[in-house]
Amino acid sequence: MITEDQDIQFGGKLTFQEYRKGNAPVGRKIIFCGVFLGLVSNFFLNLRSTSWLPSLFYALFFALCILIGCCILMYVEYFVIYKIDREIRQERRFLIRNEGVQVRTADSEAFYQWSNFRSIRNNKKLYILYRSVIKGIIIPKRFFQNEKQQKEFEKLILEKLHDQVRQNFL
C-alpha cells in the first residue's frame, strides 16, 4: 500500500515506434481476420474452376498479398494518426496512486480508477493498461526514473488488479 507522499510519478513523450507497438495487438487482430477471410473466400472461389491444389496456391498467394497490404495500411494509419493528433505527441505525466492512475498532458487531465482496467500487457519496452478491447494507456518503461520506481509500479499493479486482469502481466 502506498501513501500520498509515496505516489509514483513519471512521464515523457511517446515516440512513433512506441505508439505503433502499443496499438499492435489491435492491428494484428484486424490483419488476421482480413488474411483469414481472404484465404478462405479465395480458396472456395477458385475451387469452382480449378482443382484443390492450384486453388490452394492461388488462395495462399492472395492471402500473402492481403497480409502485405494490410501491414502497409496499418503502418500508414498509425503514422497519419501520430502526426495529426498532437495530444499523442505531447509530454504526458503519470501519477500512480492507491486509487488509480492520473494522466496529464498540456491540454487534458484524466483519472482512471483501478477498477476501470480490464487487462494489462507487459513487454520488453511497454506497459499497456487496457480500459476496453481497443483503448489503452501506453506507458513506455523508459518513462520511469529508475528501476526501483518501475518495480514499485509493478508491485502496485499486482496488488490492485484482479487475478484475471493481471494474467498477461506476469
- At 57 the pLDDT is 85
Residue 35 lies in a domain: yes
> Is residue 65 in a domain?
yes
Number of structural domains in the chain: 2
Q: Are residues 111 and 123 in the same domain?
A: yes
Judge if 78 and 131 occupy the same domain.
no
pLDDT digits (tens, 9 = 90+) for 118-144: 888 888 999 999 888 888 899 999 999
Read off the pLDDT of residues 30-74 as tens digits, 9 standing for 90 and up: 788 878 888 888 888 877 788 888 888 888 888 888 889 888 988
pTM of the model: 0.78
Position 66 scores a pLDDT of 86
DSSP for 9-73, written as a single string: EEEEE--HHHHHHHHHHHHHHHHHHHHHHHHHHHHHHHHTTS-HHHHHHHHHHHHHHHHHHHHHH
Residue-number span of the structural domain to which 134 is assigned: 4-14+88-160
Query: What is the spatial distance between Cα 55 and Cα 43, in angstroms, rounded to a whole number?
Result: 5
Q: At what angle do helices 16-47 and 52-84 cross, to 10 degrees?
A: 150
27 and 8 in a common domain: no
Question: How sure is the predictor about 169, in pLDDT bands with cuts at 50, 70 and 90?
Answer: low
Co-location of 22 and 67 in the same domain: yes
What is the pLDDT, as a whole number, of residue 5? 55
Question: Does one domain contain both 113 and 152?
Answer: yes
Residue 169 falls inside a structural domain = no
Same domain, 134 and 106: yes
Q: Mean pLDDT score of the chain, rounded to an integer?
A: 86
pLDDT in tens, 72-91: 988 999 999 999 999 999 99
Helix (H, G, I), strand (E, B) or coil at 77: helix
Q: Return the higher-pLDDT residue of 25 and 49.
A: 49
